[in-house]
Amino acid sequence: MKSLILALPIVRGKEEEWRRFAQELQETYPREYEDLRRRLGVRTERVWLMQEVCGEVALAYAEAEAPEEVIRRLTASEEPFDTWFKEKLLELHGYDLDGPHPRPEPELVFAYGPRHFFQDRPGSP
All structural domains of the chain? 2-118 (3.30.70)
Tens of pLDDT along 8-23?
999 999 999 999 999 9
Whether the pTM exceeds 0.85: the reply is: no
CA distance linking residue 21 with residue 19, whole number of Å = 5
Helix (H) or strand (E) holding 68: helix 67-76
The pLDDT confidence band at residue 111, using thresholds 50, 70 and 90, is: confident
Q: How open is the CA angle 60-82-101, to the nearest 5 degrees? A: 65
Task: Quote the mean pLDDT of the chain.
Answer: 88
